[in-house]
Amino acid sequence: MPQFFINRPVFAWVIALFIVLFGLITIPQLPIAQYPSVAPPSVSITVNYPGATPQTMNESVISLIERELSGVDDLLYFESSSDTSGTATITVTFKPGTNIKLAQVDVQNQIKTVESRLPQTVRQNGLTVEAASSNFLMMVGLTSPGGNFSEADLSDYFARNVTEELRRVAGVGKVQAFGAEKAMRIWVDPAKLISYRLTISDISTAISQQNVQIAPGRIGDAPTVYGQQTGYPLTVRGQLGTPDEFRHIVLKANVDGSTVTLGDVARVDLGLQTYSFAVREDGQSSTAVAIQLSPGANAIQTSQAVQDRLTEMAKALPDGMKFTVPFDTSPFVKISIEKVIHTFIEAMALVFIVMFLFLQNIRYTFIPAIVAPVALLGTFTVMMLCGFSINVLTMFGMVLAIGIIVDDAIVVVENVERLMSEEGLSPRQATEKAMREITGAVVGITLVLTAVFIPMGLASGSVGIIYRQFTLSMAVSILFSAFLALSLTPALCATLLKPVTQESHQKGRFFSWFNRSFDRMSDRFESRLTRLLKRTGRMMLVYGALCGVLFYAFTRLPSSFLPSEDQGYFMTSIQLPSDATLERTGEVVKKLENAVAERPGIQRNLSVLGFSFSGSGANSALAFTTLKDWGERDGATAQGEADHLQAVMSAVPDATVMSLLPPPIAELGNSTGFTLRLEDRSGHGYQALSEAVNQLLSKAAQSKIVTDVYVDGLPDGTSIDLSIDRQKAETLGIAFSDISQTLSGAMGSSYINDFPNQGRIQQVIIQADAPYRMQLKDVLSLYVRNKSGGMVPLSEVVRGEWKTSPLQMVRYQGYPAFRIAGNAGPGYSTGAAMAEMEKIAAELPAGFAVEWTGQSLQEQQSASQAPMLMLLSMLVVFLVLAALYESWAIPLSVMLVVPLGLLGAVIAVVIRDMPNDVFFKVGMITIIGLSAKNAILIIEFARQIYEEEGNLIKSTIRAAKMRLRPILMTSLAFTLGVVPLMLAVGASATTQHAIGTGVFGGMISGTLLAVFFVPAFFIFVMTWVNKISSAITKKP
């Protein structure tokens, strides 16, 4: 193939230009994301049952739905959570790669089978089944800077005019509102009810009968009588539309002609549908919604589309209203990609400087400088065809590939230059001879470097998706590089290079000094190598000792999944005692806002009262605090600010405050650290499960390996248990349904029907007015009507008892469970922390078990797959080399160098106190291929010379010295190419350190040790092969 392109250089240029053209067309079409869709896809089911306790929700709703979910295809796990707000969420998580749209339909079909068995209120409110990311992409707020609009006005305007518009934006999966639209609120006065001998049920019945839609038909509609010439539609206003009209609803008509209207017993106004949440933005009341991505959607594009839509809608906003985006995760994604691109450019610049240093000629440097961008542009085209995006992983793969893709071109150019200099050949003659010498090495290196990544693509789960991103970006760029090295590079060498002599390198004082110094170093290298090869046995003993050091150091590396990153924001969870009201929670939030306002590195803060990722309730709040840009912080970090805020808020009485950083991949959890579920698999009951979790937390608190271990949920709280004397109620002629309706309507808030309001259908809701539902005596003072028409107080048949009960109940895989989260102790990794938690959990009573979830589950799977992937990569490389060289011995001498590269990688991360995470594993597999590449460059030439001359030691020494320059040049190019990763600062710096450090260290050791040990390996292996061959030959 090289000869074909040497004869047809224009053909080679045309192919290269086609690759460039397709790449340039492809790049703008590729989506941009921080990470690909790594997390397993999930579907969420939301159930609303106003007034229901967690126990009621579990028994009458969740257990029925979960029973059907077990039959869903490709199910990974499911989890449910219900709290005292009357809301339950069931999250169904599927195996990676599942078609989420089909999975959503499957879940909906399973729910349909049990929908008829669910309580009427649940069916009436409806079940929502959505496929969306579990984490928030951004928050969109609506404020009134001048105070012209109330929070209710803002919430209603948002619900009417904005929410549906945002749902229609491409990429938006779910819009979660932290406000409510307006509703016709019927605030009942129970004392007035009893004075008129009326009940809550009477009000509900009257509204249902008098606020209805009527379809009266037409006058003269077909079939008509003979001679009917005209027809007219009838109109009648059945539904009421204003508070005044509702006040005039007749509840009771007396025989004297007087009436009792709704206004006589209740206060009627346009209030909010729910008062469960409140939003504060930088200390001011506001309303807001959270935007969640649809599965597979692009964060940057979706965020930009949402903001573009807000800009359009802002033109129609009433004066005094303003849209805000107080929280947005997409800037970090964008900055991360930009930082990696900057690193990419820096790496290319360093690589080309190294090439110029060694090649010392602009023309020689120009050829690899042309080939490298062509190979990278071709990679973008393949990424597009495979449905990949431009993300941190693919860009890291390309950064690592920069130093590799120039290798092939450097090897070709360096060999052509050597032949022209030493043998006085013309550029064309030198190119033809060089390609005959090195084509085998180029092919071998390419096969090894691509084969080493093949097993990575076979990994399962989220880690498999991560590995495949690297596999594609690196392997494809290497294949393009090899193709260009056998096509465009020889064509360029034959046409662009000029004849040189050995004296050509003496031009220039610096290069003259450099060449003399390098020649002296080469001579010293040859001398020392000659002495070392006389002691091959000792070198093999040293090699064995180095392997022992590698094993010892590697097995003691702390494990992790992905490095924690400063993403420019942190979250603060606030929990008050269970009896705290929203007003009391708001006072704590104001203290947090004051603490945030004092920090110069913080840009803005948004707090949502009544909500947290752990569960909803008036005693909960969640704050999203965004820091200034990395260049404006003056040393502030997200972790530092979070620690400071938590320390300040720890002084607030009765408040549990936890400031947390988001996880590296948002879809895999809500915070950094580890997450697990403690399950009751034997039906011990909630009390026993609570005791088990307390035992687990108590022992975890005594361990140095884990810290901040807590129950991620709402704590148990005080409640009033109402017991109904059913037998006495029956004796008094009271229907149980009347008791239920009275309690729900007065204390819970009961949805009756709908009414039209300015073009939108909104709800009519009945509830006792605030002064009449503050204490237990208010409940017992309610009246119901018995069968004989008498009025009976609930105190006759209802008793209230104070007790402690769960405010939230969680089920995991159908078992009652507790969510537990925590962090690794100082100096320990999440892997060590997970092992410690499993050890502690093993001491719990029988029947209790723990399961990892979210990021921890993926980390566990990653750790279990890593050793097999490493061994499989080495086996694949060995087999490829065996097939290439038709020998078992040569591949063995190549593979023996791999531990030397891995040793440097392990030492580098130990020095920088870094864990064995996914990025380090990727780096190790890269080092396997690069270490083998250096060995191939020596062994390929040593084998050729040995076959020609027959002296094993001299052939090996000559080959090692001959290939020293290209090995050092390519290795130095690659090593300097990853220096920007290792020294990165700002956004995504931790991730860049994770990928760069191990590769840098591995390349240093894999080069400096390999140039001495590879010749020894080759001689050692070939000596044994010759002995075995001789022994076989001598046999009769």
- Which amino acid appears at position 115 of this protein? E
Average confidence (pLDDT) over 129-134 = 76
CA dist 331 and 509 (Å) reads: 49
Confidence (pLDDT) at 456: 78
Q: Is 730 helix (H, G, I), strand (E, B) or coil?
A: helix
Q: Which residues 6+ apart lie within 8 Å of 142 measured at CB?
A: 154, 157, 158, 162, 286, 287, 288, 321, 322, 323, 324
Q: Which fold has domain 568-661?
A: Alpha-Beta Plaits (3.30.70)
Please state which CATH number belongs to domain 682-716+806-846.
3.30.70.1440
Burial-class residue 481 by CB neighbours within 10 Å (0-12, 13-18, 19+).
Answer: buried
CA 168 to chain centre: 23
Cβ 794 vs Cβ 62: under 8 Å: no
Distance CA 513, CA 520 (A): 11
Mean pLDDT of 161-177: 90
DSSP characters over 527-588: HHHHHHHTTHHHHHHHHHHHHHHHHHHHHTSPB-SS-----SEEEEEEE--TT--HHHHHHH
Q: CB–CB of 617/642 below 8 Å?
A: no
Nearest CA among 559, 587, 560 for reference residue 574:
587
Predicted confidence band at 555 (pLDDT cuts at 50, 70, 90)?
Answer: confident
* pLDDT 10s digits, 576-602: 888 888 899 999 999 999 999 989 889
pLDDT digits (tens, 9 = 90+) for 435-469: 887 787 788 778 877 888 888 777 777 777 778 88
Residue 629: pLDDT band with limits 50, 70, 90:
confident
Q: Residue 589 has what pLDDT?
A: 92
978-1005: pLDDT as tens digits: 888 888 877 778 888 888 898 899 989 9
Q: What is the pLDDT of residue 459?
A: 75
pLDDT of residue 363: 79
Residue 501: pLDDT band (50, 70, 90) is low
pLDDT per position as a tens digit, 362-376 = 877 888 888 888 988
Q: How far is CA 206 from CA 80, 84, 210, 260, 474, in A?
A: 38, 29, 6, 11, 72
Over residues 276-304, the pLDDT tens digits come to: 889 999 888 899 999 988 876 778 888 99
- SS3 label, residue 251: strand
Domain 2-33+333-497+525-561+860-1034, CATH number (from 1.20.1640.10, 3.20.20.70, 3.40.50.1370, 3.40.50.2300): 1.20.1640.10
Q: Where do the structural domains in the chain lie, given as residue ranges?
A: 2-33+333-497+525-561+860-1034, 42-180+274-332, 182-225+236-250+720-804, 568-661, 682-716+806-846
| Cβ–Cβ < 8 Å for 187, 767 | yes
Fold of 182-225+236-250+720-804: 3.30.2090
Q: Residue 490 in contact with residue 412, Cβ under 8 Å?
A: yes
Residue % of the chain over a pLDDT of 90: 20
Q: Tell me how many degrees the CA angle 811-815-816 measures, rounded to the nearest 5.
A: 55
CB-neighbour burial class of residue 163 (10 A; exposed 0-12, middle 13-18, buried 19+): middle
Residue 505's pLDDT band (cuts 50, 70, 90): very low
Q: Which of 312, 461, 469 is nearest to 386 (CA)?
A: 469
- Mean pLDDT over residues 195-220, rounded? 90
622, 646, 639, 644: which is closest to 566 by C-alpha? Answer: 639
pLDDT (average), residues 110-122? 86
How far apart are the C-alpha atoms of 167 and 311, rounded to whole Å? Answer: 16
Q: What percent of the chain has pLDDT over 70?
A: 97
Q: Which residue type occupies 825? A: G
- Going from the C-alpha of 512 to that of each of 43, 360, 503, the distances in angstroms are 68, 10, 10
**Which residues contact residue 257 at a Cβ distance below 8 angstroms, ignoring those fewer than 6 apart?**
none
- In 3D space, the residue among 38, 333, 344, 335 whose CA is nearest the CA of residue 996 turns out to be 344
Q: What is the pLDDT of residues 1015-1034, one digit of tens each?
A: 888 888 888 877 776 666 65
For the beta carbon of residue 177, count every other beta carbon within 10 angstroms: 18
Class of domain 42-180+274-332: alpha beta
Residue (of 460, 490, 418) closest to 7 by Cα position: 490
**pTM for this predicted structure:** 0.77
Average pLDDT of the segment spanning 255-268: 92
Please state whether beta strands 815-824 and 808-812 pair in parallel, antiparallel, or not at all (unpaired). antiparallel
Model pLDDT, residue 292: 87
- Write out the H or E segment, with its range, that includes residue 289: strand 284-293
pLDDT digits (tens, 9 = 90+) for 409-436: 877 887 887 788 777 788 888 888 888 8
Question: Is 88 in a helix, a strand, or coil?
Answer: strand
In sequence order, what DSSP letters do the residues of 686-723 get, joined into one string? HHHHHHHHHHHHHHHHT-SSEEEEEE-SPPPEEEEEEE
Token readout for 574 is 């606030």
Q: What DSSP designation does 79 have? A: E
Distance CA 47, CA 658 (A): 28
Rounded Cα–Cα distance for residues 382 and 447 (Å): 18
Lowest mean pLDDT among 2-11, 28-37, 300-309, 745-754: 28-37
Query: What SS3 class is residue 107?
Result: helix
* Per-residue model confidence as pLDDT tens digits over 60-70: 889 889 888 87
The DSSP code sequence of 252-264 is: EE-TTS-EEEHHH
Same fold, 42-180+274-332 and 682-716+806-846: yes
Q: Residue 668: is its pLDDT beyond 70?
A: no
**Digit-coded pLDDT (tens) for 703-715:** 988 888 888 877 7
Residue-level pLDDT at 607: 93
Nearest alpha-carbon partner for 86 in 580, 602, 749, 795: 749
Mean of pLDDT over the chain: 85
The mean pLDDT value for 671-690 works out to: 86
The alpha carbon dihedral of 961, 967, 969, 975 has a sign of negative
- Give the separation between CA 191 and CA 782, rounded to whole angstroms: 8
Residue 773: CA count within 13 A, CB half-sphere: 17
The pair of three-digit structure tokens given for residue 471, joined into one six-digit string: 């596999």
Mean pLDDT of 339-359: 78
For the ranges 42-51, 789-798, 847-856, the one whose mean pLDDT is highest = 789-798
Residue range 904-935, pLDDT digits in tens: 999 999 998 888 888 888 888 888 888 887 88
Torsion of CA 195, 200, 201, 202, to 10 degrees: 40
